Amino acid sequence: MPVTDDATTYTAEGEVELRNTISIDIGGTFTDCFVAYDRRTASGKAPTTRHRLAVGFNQAIADCADKLGVDPGDLVARTDMVRYATTLAMNALIERKGPRLGLITTAGFEDTIFIGRGAQWHDGTPVELKRLTARGRRPEPVIPRSMVVGLRERIDDDGDEIIPVDVDEVREKVRLLVDRRAMGFVVALLQSHRDPSHERTVRDVIADEFPDTYLGSQPVLLSSEVLPKQNEYQRDMTAILAAYLHRTMAEELTELGNELHEHGYKRPLFIVNSGGGVNPLQRTSAVETYNAGPVAGVIGGAHVADLYGIDNIILTDMGGTSFDIGTVVEAGSRVDEFRGRHFYSHIPMIDRFRVGISMIETKSIGAGGGSIARYDDLLNLVEVGPQSAGSNPGPACFDLGGEQPTVTDADVVLGYVNPEWFLGGRMQLNPEAAAEAVRTHLAEPLGVSVEEAAFLVKTLIDAKMGNEVFKETNLKGYDPRDFVLFAFGGAGPTHACGYGTYVDARAVMTFPVASVFSAFGIANTDFVRSYEQSRPLKLYEAHSDHWLDDYDAYNDVVAGLQAEALRDAGELGARHITWGLELELRYGLQPHVTRIRSPRLALAGPEDVRAVYDAFEGEYGRIYSPSATFIEGGVEVVGFTLWSLVRTQKLDLPVHPLEGADPSAAAKGRRPTFWGPERGWLDTALFDLDLLKPGNVVAGPAVVEALDTTIVVDPDRTFRIDERASGVVELKA
């Protein structure tokens, strides 16, 4: 199809209608579920069952069905769409549980993935470790060097064949890898993004040697199909990680899909991707799902910010295992459907490997309710995290065999968490076990009381999270005081006052769906996908006054990417597609590129070419200063990224009339809570979140209990319910 000169929309036939949806986010400790059904909503949680994720998956759905008063089977059968964010990719990579793969590359380039980039010594490590240059180590390779072979073949940078593929050599190298116990192949040949024919030849040889009818058939992934872009290292690693994670995810997700279909669900299982959208399982690469849960939280936060008209937000999700951070800028202004609202990683990273896919930038650290607190007798100090007790055995207070003290145990000791009302009373906690764990492992070695040791755990974890939040805004050049802090996750509202002090944000907000906010975000996720292609084009010739005039060379790339997008959108029955085009450009022969949102989807004349350059010059000048621009060196387009967006119906947070400030109707008693050695134990008012009305104001110290989270208001703050039933934490006047 020809490229439309409208850079905003293209309309195709068909329409996606969603009435009943199920959204699932599987975390390290809990599986969260958010259901929209017959104009009603419900949220539910269940412990994550690592041995078989489908168990926790079904339990979370059943919890929501119970709250809606419907049969779980009927709920699933009447559901229009099940959307799902998974931690499978992250867990499989961290634990190195993928299959043994063989890598087939161009002779002479067998060490590309091991050499990596110069920054590979510290890529993916915390800032404090980046500074310890002498201790830098390269990441553990996914494919060992013995499983890499090279072929004597070559395609040049223009896509012309220099040396053809020797089929006999391919057979010899493939058999060698099979003898070395390869269970799959990644084919990543030089310049395959320009001409993939050599990679396809290798795949054909492997299929001929090990056809699907054999038990020993071998899956094959081509780098030219996974990521048809230049830069060998990123392209190779993206294809390798896609292959490494593929089998684990395919087996688990296929099982989930089969169970849903057995209960009457009629559509595909839709998977959240790291680019900020959802797509059918059969159209999603395993590598695209990495970090999908935190990304869903960012999408949900952007949606809520739009409802409130808030421009800048910091999103913080404290669950049982991790603390996730995201930032959204100019959300309420809707300046851009694809970029500018949330940050895409400048250097996309999975684990410690650079990849080439587009990923919304989030930061995760090991800080959650299950984070273990340890006393180091050599240094005489306490460390909290990153190790987590997970869901099994979990914190000591879970009474499932855990013996180490965790953040949740400390919260129980301090009186913040009601052991008889955890998850609305569905899970009883053992406060004696929590106190014993803190006493044995922390208080006695430190020579302090149990409550002082527990408060130290709270102080350390709050400082750890607050410091990371501050860096995530400050290091991007923003003042955190210009942001509103969103606190969600099961433990986020419990600690928001603590880590919020390190940010000094304009306000701290919590939400009725705080405990399952990422699942809520999934329920508001559009069908978004990116299609990428490297295609060098001279936008402006150096030392001349010649601008690009071969518009077809530019437009053909965009049209080809649109054809792929329309194929996928057609499977969804999409009627209206919003396009966004990003370009990677550079001056002269600079090694680094600058990514911009193109003001033109297609080029029709000189004014369009100049508009593209002006956008590049503006962005380049913003990053490096206007004095750094240098058109005299020439300007080159390096790569294209086409975004397609199909909108879905969004969930609203309805507006309610404000009532009086008096919260006494929601009071549910009092209990002592501990606020450090200086303040000690304070008699603290308790409130039921479900009974608080818009306009009610709770003065700290206070504890507001909900079915799936606890909001702790420190003595210096108030907690107000606004017109959308969200909670706003503010300093006392």
SS3 assignment, position 269:
strand
Kindly state whether residues 352 and 494 are assigned to the same domain.
yes
In a domain, 382, yes or no: yes
Q: Residue 512: name the closest of 656, 681, 662 by CA.
A: 656
Kindly state whether residues 351 and 466 are assigned to the same domain.
yes
Q: Determine the pLDDT at residue 565.
A: 87
Per the structure, the complete domain to which residue 140 belongs is given by 117-234
d(CA 59, CA 36): 17
Kindly state whether residues 423 and 467 are assigned to the same domain.
no
CB neighbourhood size of 230 (10 A): 20
Q: Determine the pLDDT at residue 200.
A: 96
Q: What is the DSSP string of 599-631?
A: S-SS--SHHHHHHHHHHHHHHHHHHH-GGG--G
Last residue of a domain, one of 443, 458, 473: 458
Kindly state whether residues 554 and 617 are assigned to the same domain.
yes
CATH number at residue 626: 3.30.1490
Q: What angle do CA 548, 552, 556 make, to 5 degrees?
A: 125
Residues in the chain with pLDDT values less than 70: 1-18, 28, 88-91, 94-95, 126-128, 215-216, 331-344, 391, 571-575
Q: Determine the pLDDT at residue 339.
A: 43
Kindly state whether residues 543 and 633 are assigned to the same domain.
yes
d(CA 77, CA 719): 40
pTM, full prediction: 0.83
Please compute, for residue 167, the number of CA atoms within 13 A of its CA located in the half-sphere on the CB side: 9
Q: Determine the pLDDT at residue 9.
A: 37
Q: Determine the pLDDT at residue 538.
A: 92
Helix axes 167-179, 197-209, angle to 10 degrees: 60
d(CA 20, CA 17): 10
Kindly state whether residues 167 and 306 are assigned to the same domain.
no
Both structure tokens of 222: 């081509």
Kindly state whether residues 568 and 500 are assigned to the same domain.
no
Provide the number of structural domains found in the chain. 5
Kindly state whether residues 351 and 471 are assigned to the same domain.
yes
In a domain, 48, yes or no: no
Burial class (CB within 10 angstroms; exposed 0-12, middle 13-18, buried 19+) of 52 = exposed
Kindly state whether residues 384 and 339 are assigned to the same domain.
no
Kindly state whether residues 584 and 695 are assigned to the same domain.
no
In a domain, 31, yes or no: no
Kindly state whether residues 218 and 200 are assigned to the same domain.
yes
Taking a C-beta distance cutoff of 8 angstroms, is the pair 147, 100 a contact?
A: yes
d(CA 709, CA 422): 8
Last residue of a domain, one of 431, 458, 485: 458
Q: What is the DSSP string of 93-132?
A: HHTT-S---EEEEETT-TTHHHH--GGGGTTTS-HHHHT-
In a domain, 285, yes or no: no
Q: Determine the pLDDT at residue 573.
A: 65
Q: Determine the pLDDT at residue 119.
A: 78
Kindly state whether residues 356 and 320 are assigned to the same domain.
yes
Identify the helix (H) or strand (E) that includes residue 437. Answer: helix 431-438
In a domain, 537, yes or no: yes
CATH number at residue 324: 3.30.420
In a domain, 679, yes or no: yes
Both structure tokens of 511: 């939400």
Last residue of a domain, one of 458, 486, 503: 458
